[in-house]
Structure 1
Amino acid sequence: MSAPLLIFADTILTGFDPDGTPILLEQAALLIRDGRIADAGTADTMRRRHPEVEAMGGRGKAVIPGLINAHHHVGVTPFQMGAQDHPLELWFAERLRMRDVPPDLDTLYSAFEMVASGVTTVQHLHSRAPGDVTAVLDRANRIIGAYDRLGMRVSYSFAMRDQNRVLYDDDQVFLELLPAAMRPVAARYLAGFGLSLDEQAQVFYELRNQHSGKERIAIQIAPANLHWLSNAGLEMAARLHDATGAPMHMHLLETPYQREYAARRGQGSAVEQIQRFGLLGPDLTIGHGVWLSRDDLALCKENGVCICHNCSSNLRLKSGTADLNAFLATGLPIALGIDEAGINDDRDMLQEMRMALTLHRPSGHHSPAPTAAQVLQMATRHGAATTPFRERIGGLAKGQAADLVVLDWDRVTYPWQDSRNGFADVLVRRAKAEAVAQVMVAGRTVYADGTFVNVDRKAELDRLKKWQSRPRTALDEEMAELADAAIDVVHDYYKNWR
């Protein structure tokens, strides 16, 4: 165990009252012992109580709970790999041209960006992993291992899917719509993702057993989406949850085409359909939910589900603008996720909070709008509710994990900030990654003064650059040609939808 540590700051955000008011300690300190918050109080009181404990921080600093990116997929962004920001369904086809990146390098790339903006916990939703059970487990553990090496906290899930991998229709329909010359290429590609539902359940149980009891690693269930799962797949997700109690994270109603798919599948809205399989409840997080209706939201509220808002992603992929104010009005935990990448094609959680705060301000003097405190809760306490770590993270109360961010508050407010604006307002509106002075996870420093403690960022990024700079292979060119053909097929397929 590491030695106890006192962290002093002008302001410490420890959490939120039940009504959402930030709980702030002024001129205060936290005692960290064995990776958790052991004590808190005014600076003078803490010095008297713990005179022999090493101290850090001080004037000009602020401390907040570690931020939580509650919805994440990949490192090197699709845009970096040549995929334009098409509407989601076309984007799936465009992504066929993306080359496979070594999972450890890929994971570290985005993890560097997350940590540097104050993220201590990530919900990693692994959407694509070719091969048999052994290959999928190896790739999963290389991803988990990269987070562990860096020192982050990760909730990992391998997305369950068993149908409709390109279109919201049978894979055979997609193959038959392709030009004849492209069908063998597409068939080989799709065959690489052929794990049965039983094998996907095996992956979940193997990972859960391998990482059981680890402080910073947890395994979730991720039923990918309604259109990607048959009834048997939805039943499997429910069985895994019932057997283990593991939380679930499910993409749902991201686009109007997904709403139309649910209507064509029948038996109610997408939310009503997954309710039939027992998936609605406090252990389920709905990712995106852009096209949730009022009735859907009422059903979500009745069952206590969580929702993860992915602001930048919804904008970039033309999915629509979620009604965040309606989400917040339910009183449910609403988390925040950056998804593939934020508006700047990076994983800057401070910027994502600003996006959410700013975008959802409809016209009118009396129209609802999120407050900075609500957005900050989305990125902390409510994000925690969507992970297996739950009450252990998302705040800095006694007994919680010492996952925290030390901010250079002078840098946040330079050259001037009127003190009449509250702490949360100034933080969400003005804080940038350059003000992140230190990041701790489970009481250990993982990032300080622009340097990662456990990993050489430049060396890893140089490795990534070298790998990406290698000559394109015949397979790369073949997949790029398939992507071009697939985009035309997908575009024509959805012409009469909505």
Structure 2
Amino acid sequence: MATTLVRSKTMITKTVDRHTVEEIADGALIQEDGVITEVGTYEALSAKHPTLPVLGSGREVLVPGFVNGHHHVGLTPVQLGSPDMPLELWFITRMVTRNLNLYLDTLYSAFEMIGSGITTVQHIHGWLPGKIDLVEPLANEVIRAYEDIGMRVSYSFAVRDQNRMVYQDDKAFVASLPPELQAPMQRWYDRFQMGLEDCMDMFAHMHGRHQNKRRVKIQLAPANLHWCSDSALTALSEASKKYEVPMHMHLLETALQKEYAWRRGGCTAVEYIDRFDMLGPKLTLGHGVWLNESDIDRLAETGTCVCHNCSSNFRLRSGLAALNHFEIKGVNTAIGLDEAGINDDRDMLQEMRLVLRAHRVPGMDDDVPTTPQVFRMATTGGAKTTPYGDFLGTLEVGKGADLVLLDWEQMSYPYLDRETPLLDAVIQRAKSDGVRAVMCDGEVIYRDGVFTRVDRDGALKALHDDLSRALSDDEVERRNLSKALLPHVKKFYRGYVDPAKHQPFYRPSSRV
């Protein structure tokens, strides 16, 4: 791999605290074999290394590559015919998803992520039909897409071994349906043949195959409390310790999930998984909208992380996570784009603005998100939730050479007051069309709108052509079943939660 000198107008190397970042005017760095070896000014480094190839014109802002801490799919649910709905109903509408070419589908969202400065993704793979001999090769197709395009991935296959449609035993749910729906529903369940043992075997196979790669890591994903039996929680907790890999678990996304935990264990969901020794720095909770104050205290005490999926929480009516309280308590937080952001794409620059502004509670206390805090969430905060850990997220000697060059003129033209802090301009004004270059592991994978490894137009045309085929018989049956199930699922959840019993936790703000 070539050695490169990367230059900038100004370089933001890292977050110092929630109000401060470290900047270097005329900043530059040297990367060699994917690792940063020197940091300083362009004047000094170019004089020292006059023959090195230079990336950057000196008219860009240089920042660490962003981490999408929670991601699932390529084409969005809306594109596939599943509208935004409350989460538990949305599970039903997701049954309409086409049989996708997973390689092309993964490239689709990777184009969007890289184009907004994301260099690392936490890919949490959902269900795939079939047995392990079919599922594992498909999982490796997802990884192949990331390898081909050049970005880093932390991949996990979400483990689910119960309650696969509603928060009720599968057999009991089938029995509750009208006779004409029972056989189609059972056929849908029968498509998924990966048991707990298969899932753990697949993790071990994939970990062994990919663990030593620089841009691919494998970790674990307990899908959610309602989806995991006690046996699954035990197996996942033990495997995390044995293989020394992180876990990423959806938890308390909705009020119904909070009620489910109480019905199952007579305690909160956090208290329940704590029984299985799951809490700690190696566990990240996705969403965490319905955590209570004692839950948050326990997360802070154990060093457990939370991935904040702001767009998804809004789109699926899940609620507003207590991000301000997470910050006060010192909980490490990441940013996840989940299925898709507020604009139905994977734009980290847009998502950072949403996170910055969604939690601006009334009052004058210093308890709302700051631009350095949001920047940290998208860099080191996200990296800590992956196996890459503190190797990523800052532009310092010894760290991975994952970085983004953002066009300063795009942010500042036709005018920007000279007193405006640089990071404020980046977080509040940078757009994806101002991303000039993206480097991952020392390699330029995107430059001036062109992906260096994969033909974007060709891949999208292939995806379009693949999905232009007629619906298969099983796709038609699933669409019909989805429509027929919706009223029965609505009935199942009617009255499931007592609103007076489950209120979201928000930290009261000071009033003036």
Task: Compute the TM-score of the two structures, normalised by the length of structure 2.
Answer: 0.95
What is the deviation of 1:367? 6.4
What is the deviation of 1:267? 3.8
> Which residue type is aligned with residue 221 of structure 2?
A
In the alignment, what sits opposite 2:79?
80
Counterparts of residues 195-234 of structure 1 (less than 5 Å): 195-234=194-233
Deviates more, 1:437-446 or 1:477-486: 477-486
Identity %: 45
Counterparts of residues 26-175 of structure 1 (less than 5 Å): 26-175=25-174
Query: Structure 1: how far apart are the matches of 2:352 and 2:43?
Result: 33
Q: What CA deviation, in whole Å up to 9, does each residue of 1:27-56 have, x standing for no partner?
A: 121111111111011122112221221223
In the alignment, what sits opposite 1:496?
495
What is the deviation of 1:332? 2.0
What is the deviation of 1:173? 2.1
In the alignment, what sits opposite 2:509?
none
What is the deviation of 1:182? 2.1
In the alignment, what sits opposite 1:300?
299
> Which residue type is aligned with residue 56 of structure 2?
G
Q: What CA deviation, in whole Å up to 9, does each residue of 1:402-432 have, x standing for no partner?
A: 0000111111212111121111111110001
Native 8 Å contact 1:133 1:203 kept in 2: yes
What is the deviation of 1:467? 1.5
Three-state SS of the structure 1 residue aligned to 2:8 is strand
Counterparts of residues 251-330 of structure 1 (less than 5 Å): 251-330=250-329
Task: Give the paired residue count.
Answer: 497
Give the direction of change, closer, same or farther, for the CA distance of 1:443–1:107 in structure 2 (3 Å limit): same
What is the deviation of 1:256? 0.2
Query: Structure 1: how far apart are the matches of 2:263 and 2:311?
Result: 29
Native 8 Å contact 1:178 1:485 kept in 2: no
What is the deviation of 1:368? 2.1
> Which residue type is aligned with residue 170 of structure 2?
D
Native 8 Å contact 1:72 1:122 kept in 2: yes
Query: Structure 1: how far apart are the matches of 2:391 and 2:367?
Result: 31
Counterpart check, 1:334 vs 2:338: no
Q: What CA deviation, in whole Å up to 9, does each residue of 1:339-364 have, x standing for no partner?
A: 00001110011000011001110122
Counterpart check, 1:472 vs 2:496: no
What is the deviation of 1:400? 0.6
Native 8 Å contact 2:383 2:393 kept in 1: yes
Native 8 Å contact 2:18 2:370 kept in 1: no
> Which residue type is aligned with residue 22 of structure 1?
V
Three-state SS of the structure 1 residue aligned to 2:56 is strand
Structure 1: segments with no counterpart, 5+ residues: none
Native 8 Å contact 1:247 1:386 kept in 2: yes
Query: Structure 1: how far apart are the matches of 2:40 and 2:280?
Result: 37
What is the deviation of 1:466? 1.1
Query: Structure 2: how far apart are the matches of 1:402 and 1:16?
Result: 17
> Which residue type is aligned with residue 253 of structure 2?
E
Query: Structure 2: how far apart are the matches of 1:436 and 1:253?
Result: 35
Query: Structure 2: how far apart are the matches of 1:55 and 1:437?
Result: 14
Native 8 Å contact 2:17 2:372 kept in 1: no
Three-state SS of the structure 1 residue aligned to 2:281 is coil
Native 8 Å contact 2:19 2:370 kept in 1: no
Native 8 Å contact 2:306 2:331 kept in 1: yes
Query: Structure 1: how far apart are the matches of 2:369 and 2:239?
Result: 36
Structure 2: segments with no counterpart, 5+ residues: 498-512
Query: Structure 2: how far apart are the matches of 1:19 and 1:314?
Result: 24
Three-state SS of the structure 2 residue aligned to 1:380 is helix
Three-state SS of the structure 2 residue aligned to 1:406 is strand
Three-state SS of the structure 2 residue aligned to 1:188 is helix
Deviates more, 1:53-62 or 1:287-296: 53-62
Three-state SS of the structure 2 residue aligned to 1:59 is coil
Native 8 Å contact 2:15 2:375 kept in 1: no
Query: Structure 2: how far apart are the matches of 1:231 and 1:213?
Result: 31
Give the direction of change, closer, same or farther, for the CA distance of 1:398–1:419 in structure 2 (3 Å limit): same
In the alignment, what sits opposite 1:402?
401
Native 8 Å contact 2:17 2:373 kept in 1: no
Query: Structure 2: how far apart are the matches of 1:290 and 1:283?
Result: 20
What is the deviation of 1:294? 0.3
Q: What CA deviation, in whole Å up to 9, does each residue of 1:320-348 have, x standing for no partner?
A: 11111111112121000000000111001
Counterparts of residues 442-453 of structure 1 (less than 5 Å): 442-453=441-452
Deviates more, 1:59-68 or 1:176-185: 176-185
Three-state SS of the structure 2 residue aligned to 1:17 is strand
Query: Structure 2: how far apart are the matches of 1:144 and 1:21?
Result: 36
Query: Structure 1: how far apart are the matches of 2:266 and 2:48?
Result: 62
> Which residue type is aligned with residue 116 of structure 1?
G
Query: Structure 2: how far apart are the matches of 1:246 and 1:473?
Result: 39
Question: RMSD in angstroms over aligned alpha carbons?
Answer: 1.1
Query: Structure 2: how far apart are the matches of 1:3 and 1:239?
Result: 41
Task: Compute the TM-score of the two structures, normalised by the length of structure 1.
Answer: 0.98
Query: Structure 2: how far apart are the matches of 1:97 and 1:54?
Result: 50
> Which residue type is aligned with residue 316 of structure 2?
L
Deviates more, 1:18-27 or 1:318-327: 18-27
What is the deviation of 1:214? 0.3
Query: Structure 2: how far apart are the matches of 1:487 and 1:262?
Result: 23
Counterpart check, 1:426 vs 2:428: no
Query: Structure 2: how far apart are the matches of 1:217 and 1:188?
Result: 35
Three-state SS of the structure 1 residue aligned to 2:436 is strand
Native 8 Å contact 1:12 1:24 kept in 2: yes
Query: Structure 1: how far apart are the matches of 2:234 and 2:175?
Result: 29
Give the direction of change, closer, same or farther, for the CA distance of 1:370–1:222 in structure 2 (3 Å limit): same
Q: What CA deviation, in whole Å up to 9, does each residue of 1:42-72 have, x standing for no partner?
A: 1221122212212231331111000000000
Query: Structure 2: how far apart are the matches of 1:494 and 1:190?
Result: 20
Native 8 Å contact 2:384 2:390 kept in 1: yes
Three-state SS of the structure 1 residue aligned to 2:296 is helix
Give the direction of change, closer, same or farther, for the CA distance of 1:18–1:372 in structure 2 (3 Å limit): closer
